[in-house]
C-alpha cells in the first residue's frame, strides 16, 4: 500500500533522516508516471509538518460546529473524494460542486473547478471558511487550536509564530502533497513494459489518444493540460454555469472548467464539476454524442462516432489502464487533546 512504500521515502526526503527537502523545491521520489511535485519555498516539507497536516485533515474540530472534517468530503475510502453528486456540509446543506479527488493534487497549477486558487496553501482555507462547507471563522479556528495542548505544541515546534490560520494552510498543503498514486498500466507501458497494455486495454488506449481525441486535453503522463474547457456541462433552462468566467469576467469563459486528472477515476464517480454523470459509460456516451451543445462549446468537442465495441474498450482503459498499483489508503490518525 501507498503508506508502506511511498510515504516513508517521502518522509525520508522531508528530513526524517536527511534534510533533502530543506535544500530543494520539489519532490522527486514519486510513483512511476508522476512528475515532480513542486514545493513552495515558503512551505518546505518536513515529517513533522506532514504529520500535523494529516491530523488537521481528519479533525472535525476544524469546522465551526465540529461535525465535519476535510476527510468528510475527501474520504480516503471513496477515492479521496465522495460518492454522491453534492456533499452535505456542516449544516447539512449540499455543496454546489462535485467534490474532486485530492490524489496527485500537487500536480495541479490551479485548484478548484474554476481555478480560483493558485496553490494548495491558498486552497486549504477556503472550505473552512465557506458557510456551506465547514463554516468556521479563522479567529475561532486559531483560538480553538491554541486551546488544544497537542496542537499548540506541534505548531510551536514547527512554525516560529505558532498557531495561525496561514500555518494551518501550510500544514494541510504539505500533507496533501504526499497523497500520490501512479504506476498504472499506462505508466508502465510508457516506462518500457510493452505488455502492460495488452488486449482490450491497449485498444482503449489507442482510442483515447486517437479517434476519441481525449489526449487533446488529458495530455499523457499528467493527464491534464492545466487549462479550462467548455464541454457542455452545467447547462440548464436558465443558462450555463459561469465556471472560469466568474473569475475572469469574460463571456468567452462561461462554462469553462478545469481539466481534471484521470488516474484512478474509476474510484471517484460521479463525474464532472456538477456530478451529472454517474458512470464512466455515461461519460463516454456524453463525449461520443459531442458534449452539451452551447455557444461556447470547445472546438475539440465533436461527435466521435465510436462503435459499441470501441466505447467498451475506451471505458476499460479508463477503468483499468489508469488504475494505480499502489493507491493511498490512510487510516484516521489519533488526534491530539
Domains and CATH numbers, the chain: 2-176 (1.10.760.10), 185-321 (1.10.760.10)
Tens-place pLDDT, residues 167-216: 999 999 999 999 999 999 999 999 999 999 999 999 999 999 999 999 99
Residue 26: predicted pLDDT:
79
Please tell me the distance from the alpha carbon of residue 305 to that of residue 27, in angstroms, as a whole number.
42
- Buried-state track 167-194, b at ≥16 Cβ within 10 A, e below 16: bbbbbbbbbbbbbbbbbbbbbbbeeeee
Distance CA 150, CA 230 (A): 46
The lowest-confidence range among 14-28, 45-59, 113-127, 198-212 is 14-28
Residue 42 C-alpha cell reads as 515558503
| Statement: residue 24 has pLDDT above 50 | no
How far, in Å, CA of 20 to CA of 160, rounded?
21
What are the tens digits of pLDDT across the range 209-219?
999 999 999 99
Q: Minimal CA–CA distance to 87: which of 121, 122, 63, 111?
A: 63
Query: Model's pTM, two decimal places?
Result: 0.92
pLDDT of residue 29: 79
- pLDDT at 81 exceeding the cut of 50: yes
Tell me how far CA of residue 173 lies from CA of 40, 101, 270, 272, in angstroms: 10, 14, 25, 24
Does the pLDDT at position 120 exceed 70? yes
pLDDT digits (tens, 9 = 90+) for 293-311: 999 999 999 999 999 999 9
Is pLDDT above 80 for 317? yes
| Bind-site residues | 70, 73-74, 214, 217-218
The bridge status of strand 37-38 relative to strand 26-27 is: antiparallel
Residue 234 has pLDDT above 80, yes or no: yes
Q: Which residues are annotated as a binding site for heme c?
A: 70, 73-74, 214, 217-218
Average pLDDT over residues 116-130: 97
Mean pLDDT of 254-264: 97
Amino acid at each position: 500500500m501507498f503508506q508502506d512504500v511511498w510515504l516513508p521515502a517521502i518522509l525520508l526526503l522531508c528530513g526524517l533522516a536527511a534534510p533533502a527537502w530543506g535544500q530543494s523545491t520539489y519532490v522527486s521520489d514519486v510513483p512511476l508516471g508522476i512528475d515532480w511535485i513542486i514545493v513552495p519555498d515558503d512551505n518546505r516539507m518536513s515529517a513533522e509538518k506532514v504529520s500535523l497536516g494529516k491530523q488537521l485533515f481528519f479533525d472535525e474540530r476544524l469546522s465551526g460546529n465540529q461535525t465535519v472534517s476535510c476527510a468528510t468530503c475527501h474520504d480516503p475510502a471513496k477515492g479521496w473524494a465522495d460518492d454522491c453528486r453534492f456533499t452535505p456540509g456542516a449544516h447539512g446543506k449540499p455543496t454546489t460542486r462535485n467534490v474532486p479527488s485530492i490524489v496527485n493534487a500537487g500536480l495541479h497549477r490551479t485548484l478548484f473547478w474554476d481555478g480560483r486558487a493558485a496553490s494548495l496553501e491558498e486552497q486549504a482555507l477556503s472550505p473552512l471558511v465557506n458557510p456551506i462547507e465547514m463554516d468556521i471563522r479563522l479567529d475561532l479556528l486559531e483560538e480553538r487550536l491554541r486551546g488544544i495542548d497537542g496542537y499548540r505544541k506541534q505548531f510551536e515546534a514547527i512554525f516560529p509564530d505558532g498557531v495561525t490560520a496561514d500555518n494551518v494552510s501550510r500544514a494541510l498543503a504539505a500533507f496533501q502533497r504526499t497523497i500520490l498514486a501512479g504506476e498504472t498500466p499506462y505508466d508502465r507501458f510508457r516506462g518500457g513494459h510493452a505488455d502492460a497494455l495488452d488486449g482490450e486495454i491497449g485498444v482503449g488506449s489507442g482510442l483515447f489518444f486517437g479517434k476519441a481525441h481525449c489526449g487533446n486535453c488529458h495530455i499523457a503522463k499528467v493527464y491534464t493540460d492545466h487549462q479550462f474547457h467548455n464541454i457542455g456541462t452545467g447547462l440548464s433552462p436558465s443558462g450555463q454555469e459561469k465556471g472560469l468566467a466568474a473569475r475572469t469576467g469574460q463571456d468567452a469563459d462561461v462554462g469553462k472548467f478545469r481539466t481534471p486528472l484521470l488516474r484512478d477515476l474509476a474510484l471517484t464517480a460521479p463525474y464532472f464539476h456538477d456530478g451529472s454523470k454517474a458512470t464512466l459509460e455515461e461519460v463516454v456516451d456524453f463525449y461520443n454524442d459531442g458534449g452539451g451543445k452551447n455557444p461556447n462549446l470547445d472546438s475539440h468537442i465533436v461527435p466521435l462516432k465510436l462503435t459499441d465495441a470501441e466505447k467498451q474498450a475506451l471505458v476499460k482503459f479508463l477503468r483499468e489502464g489508469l488504475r494505480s498499483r499502489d493507491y493511498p489508503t490512510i487510516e484516521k490518525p489519533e488526534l491530539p487533546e
